[in-house]
C-alpha cells in the first residue's frame, strides 16, 4: 500500500523582508498575510507533490511554506509515494507537456490504470487528513489524478503546473488527454506563463511565475573567498593555500561547514581557484541538454584553444531525486560524450554529481558554484521556468539561456543576460559564452541588471502576494457559482 508522507517545515517570520522593502511594500506584505489568515481561517492549505528533494518544485515549496506558516497560515506539505512504473509514466507526461516524446513509451489504458492505482492508494491517507473547505494545491502531472477524490471530499482543489510548452504540439495534446479526467475536478489551475494554458483549462487558469527565496542557504550572501573555499573542499576547484573555512549559515541560523566532496569525472587536476568557470547546474535530464552544453563548449575551445575557461556541469547525485528515473542514463550519456572528446577538452570539462545527503550543504555548494562562475548557462531545450537562472541572476552573474519557455520571461536579451534563439544552435550558444568571457564590462552590466530584475519580479514577496490573489479568486468563483 503506497502512502504519502509529510515534510515538516519550520515557520519563518516575514520580518526578514522588512529591511529589503519600502514602507509601502512592507505594509502591503503584512496586509497580504492578514488576508491569507482571514481567508483560510479554520482551514489548512495543503501542498502535494512527488519529491522532497531535487528539482525546482522541491526547492520552491519549503521556502514558500515556511513564510506562509510564519504569517500564521496553516500550510502543510505531503509527498506522494510511487512505483518505478508510475514515475516512468509521469516522466513521460512531463516530457509530453514540454512537447517532447521522452522515452516514447505509450500513454494508453495500461498506463492509466497504473497511474490511477498509485494515486488511489495515496488518496486514502490524504482523505484522513484533508477536511471540507481546505485548499489543496496539487503540483505537476504526478498529482493531478488526485483531484476528483479530494474535490469529492469537499476540498477546494487547485492544480499547479510547473512545466509547459508555448505551442499545442501533438505530444502536448496527448498529455492533456491523459490528464483531463483528473483536471476536470480542479477549481483553478496555475501556470508559470500564459502561453502554457491549454484550452481545457482556459476558463479557470491564473499565471503565477515561481520565485526564489533570497534568504535561503542557496542564495545567502557569501564572500568570494568562502565560495572558492567551499568549491575547494568539494574538489570542484583547487583549494587555495590561504583559503578560509568552507562555512555557510543554516536555515536555523547556526553556522555549518561543507565537508562532503562531489563525485567528479575529469581528466587531470581541478581548475585553479582563479580559472574562469562556465557553469550549468541542473538535474540530469535530457531536456537540460548537458550534452549540448558540452558540445557547445567543445566548439568554443576548438575555435579558441587559448581561451581561459573550464566547464562545470553539475547536478544532484543520481540516486537522490525520487521522481526522476532518467538521471542515471543522462549522466551516463554525458560521460560517454565526454570520453569521445580530445584530451585537452577532457581536462577542461568537469562532470560533477553533488552530494545530496544534507540538502543545506548541497545548497551551499550550488550557491558557491553559481557565485564563483564567470558565466552561468542554462541551455535547456525546454523549460517551464528555470530557477537556476534566477538564482544566478540574483548573484549578479551574467547568464546565457535558451529562448525557450519561462526563460524568455526571466531573461531580457542583452538587458540582463543573453538569450540563444534556437536552443540547438551550438555556434550561437558558443558565441554568447565567448562574448561574456571576453567582455567583462558587458558581463558586469548584465549581471547588475539581472540582480535588480530578480529583486523586482522574482522574489518570495511577489509570489506570496500572487498566492493571496489566488485565494481571493477561489472565493470569488465560489460566490459566483453559489
Ligand atoms: N539543484 C540543487 N542541487 C543540484 C542541482 C540542482 O539544489 O545539485 C536545484 C537548483 O539550484 C534549482 C533546482 O534544483 O533550485 C532546479 O530547478 P529548475 O527550475 O532550474 O529546474 P527543474 O529541476 O525544476 O526542472
pLDDT in tens, 66-84: 999 999 999 999 999 999 9
pLDDT of residue 320: 66
Distance set, CA 297 to CA 265, 293, 422, 428 (Å): 16, 6, 16, 11
Residues, the chain, total?
Answer: 482
Residue 319: pLDDT above 80?
no
What is the DSSP secondary structure assignment for residue 346, as one 8-state letter?
A: H
Q: Is the pLDDT of residue 457 over 90?
A: yes
pLDDT tens sequence across 259-277: 999 999 999 999 999 999 9
Are the C-beta atoms of 240 and 232 separated by less than 8 Å? yes
Q: Which residue has the cell 513509451?
A: 105
Q: What is the structure's pLDDT at 479?
A: 87
Mean pLDDT over residues 166-172, rounded? 93
Contact present, 133 and 43 (Cβ < 8 Å): yes
pLDDT at 152: 98
Whether 5-211+459-481 shares its CATH topology with 262-457 is answered: yes
User: What's the mean pLDDT in 205-216?
Assistant: 97
* pLDDT tens, residue by residue, 371-395: 999 999 999 999 999 999 999 999 9
pLDDT of residue 321: 67
Residue nearest to atom 11 of ligand 1 (CA): 388
**316 C-alpha vs ligand 1 centroid, how far in Å?**
8
Annotate 57-90 with b (16+ C-beta within 10 A) or e (fewer).
bbbbbbbbbbbbbbbebebbbbbbbbeeebbbbb
Pick the CATH number of 262-457 from 3.90.870.10, 3.30.1330.30, 3.40.30.10, 3.40.50.2000: 3.40.50.2000
pLDDT tens string 245-264: 999 999 999 999 999 999 99
- The alpha carbon of residue 200 and the mean position of all alpha carbons in its chain are separated, in whole angstroms, by 26
Q: State the cell numbers at 151.
A: 474535490
Give tens-digit pLDDT for 89-113.
999 999 999 999 999 999 999 999 9
pLDDT of residue 407: 98
Ligand 1 pocket member 391 (CB < 6 A): yes
**CA 426, CA 381: separation in Å to the nearest integer?**
12
| Cα 312 to Cα 264, 279, 351, 389, 420, distances in angstroms | 10, 5, 6, 15, 20
State if residue 382 touches ligand 1 by the CB under 6 angstroms criterion. Answer: no
Q: List alpha helices for 219-278, DSSP H.
A: 224-234
DSSP readout, 286-307?
GGG-HHHHHHHHHHHHHH-TT-
The yes-or-no verdict on residue 482 having pLDDT over 80 is no
Residue 480 has pLDDT above 90, yes or no: no
- What's residue 222's pLDDT? 98
Residue 224 predicted with pLDDT over 80: yes
| In the chain, where the domains are located | 5-211+459-481, 262-457
Q: Residue 4: which residues within 8 A CB-CB, separation 6 or more?
A: 48, 78, 79, 80, 81, 122, 125, 126
Nearest in space to 401 (alpha carbons), one of 437, 376, 434: 376
**pLDDT (0 to 100) of residue 324:** 80
| Choice from 51, 52, 53, 54 to test ligand 1 binding pocket (greatest atom count within 8 A of CB) | 54
- CATH architecture under which domain 5-211+459-481 falls: 3-Layer(aba) Sandwich (3.40)
Per-residue confidence (pLDDT) for residue 278, from 0 to 100: 98
Measured between alpha carbons, how far is 388 from 393 in angstroms, rounded to an integer? 9
pLDDT value at 295 more than 90: yes
Mutate to test the pocket of ligand 1, among 97, 236, 260, 282 (most ligand atoms within 8 A of CB): 282
Query: Which atom of ligand 1 has the smallest separation from the CA of 60?
Result: 15
Given this model, what pLDDT does residue 217 score? 97
Ligand 1 atom closest to the Cα of residue 353 is: 8
| Average pLDDT, rounded, for the chain | 96
Cα atoms in the 13 Å half-sphere on the side-chain side of 350: 28
Q: Which residue(s) pair with 191 in the sheet?
A: 161, 207
pLDDT of residue 323: 74
Q: Which residue's C-alpha comes closest to atom 10 of ligand 1? A: 388
List the one residue out of 131, 43, 126, 4 whose CA is nearest residue 471: 43
Amino acid at each position: 500500500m503506497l502512502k504519502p508522507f509529510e515534510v515538516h517545515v519550520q515557520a519563518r517570520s516575514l520580518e526578514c523582508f522588512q529591511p529589503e522593502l519600502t514602507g509601502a511594500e512592507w505594509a502591503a506584505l503584512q496586509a497580504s498575510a492578514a488576508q491569507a489568515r482571514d481567508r483560510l481561517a479554520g482551514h489548512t492549505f495543503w501542498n502535494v507533490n512527488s519529491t522532497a528533494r531535487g528539482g525546482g518544485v522541491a526547492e520552491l515549496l519549503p521556502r514558500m511554506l515556511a513564510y506562509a506558516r510564519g504569517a500564521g497560515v496553516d500550510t502543510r506539505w505531503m509527498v506522494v509515494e510511487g512505483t518505478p512504473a508510475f514515475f516512468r509514466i509521469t516522466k513521460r507526461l512531463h516530457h509530453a507537456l514540454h512537447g517532447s516524446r521522452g522515452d516514447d513509451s505509450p500513454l494508453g489504458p495500461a498506463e492509466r490504470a497504473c497511474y490511477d492505482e498509485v494515486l488511489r492508494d495515496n488518496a486514502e491517507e490524504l482523505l484522513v487528513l484533508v477536511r471540507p473547505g481546505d485548499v489543496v494545491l496539487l503540483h505537476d502531472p504526478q498529482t493531478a489524478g488526485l483531484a476528483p477524490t479530494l474535490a469529492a471530499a469537499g476540498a477546494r482543489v487547485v492544480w499547479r503546473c510547473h512545466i509547459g510548452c508555448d505551442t499545442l504540439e501533438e505530444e502536448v495534446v496527448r498529455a492533456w488527454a491523459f490528464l483531463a479526467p483528473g483536471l476536470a475536478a480542479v477549481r483553478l489551475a496555475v501556470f508559470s506563463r500564459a502561453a502554457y494554458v491549454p484550452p481545457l483549462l482556459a476558463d479557470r487558469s491564473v499565471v503565477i511565475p515561481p520565485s526564489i527565496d533570497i534568504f535561503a542557504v542557496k542564495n545567502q550572501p557569501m564572500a568570494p573567498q568562502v565560495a572558492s573555499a567551499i568549491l575547494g573542499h568539494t574538489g570542484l576547484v583547487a583549494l587555495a593555500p590561504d583559503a578560509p573555512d568552507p562555512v555557510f549559515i543554516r536555515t536555523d541560523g547556526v553556522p555549518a561547514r561543507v565537508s562532503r566532496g562531489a563525485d567528479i569525472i575529469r581528466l587531470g587536476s581541478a581548475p585553479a581557484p582563479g580559472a574562469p568557470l562556465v557553469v550549468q547546474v541542473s538535474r540530469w535530464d535530457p531536456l537540460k541538454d548537458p550534452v549540448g552544453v558540452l558540445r557547445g563548449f567543445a566548439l568554443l575551445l576548438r575555435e579558441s584553444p587559448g581561451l581561459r575557461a573550464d566547464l562545470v556541469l553539475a547536478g544532484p547525485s543520481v540516486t537522490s531525486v525520487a521522481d526522476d528515473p532518467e538521471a542515471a542514463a543522462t549522466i551516463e550519456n554525458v560521460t560517454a560524450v565526454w570520453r569521445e572528446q580530445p584530451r585537452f577538452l577532457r581536462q577542461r570539462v568537469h562532470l560533477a554529481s553533488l552530494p545530496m545527503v544534507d540538502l543545506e550543504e548541497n545548497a551551499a555548494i550550488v550557491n558557491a558554484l553559481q557565485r564563483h562562475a564567470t558565466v552561468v548557462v542554462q541551455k535547456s531545450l525546454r523549460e517551464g521556468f528555470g530557477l537556476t537562472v534566477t538564482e544566478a541572476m540574483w548573484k549578479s552573474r551574467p547568464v546565457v539561456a535558451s529562448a525557450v519557455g519561462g526563460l524568455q520571461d526571466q531573461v531580457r536579451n542583452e538587458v540582463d543576460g543573453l538569450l540563444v534563439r534556437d536552443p540547438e544552435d551550438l555556434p550561437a550558444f558558443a558565441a554568447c559564452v565567448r562574448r561574456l568571457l571576453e567582455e567583462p564590462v558587458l558581463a558586469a552590466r548584465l549581471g547588475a541588471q539581472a540582480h535588480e530584475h530578480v529583486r523586482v519580479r522574482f522574489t518570495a514577496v511577489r509570489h506570496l502576494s500572487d498566492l493571496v490573489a489566488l485565494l481571493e479568486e477561489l472565493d470569488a468563483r465560489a460566490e459566483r457559482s453559489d
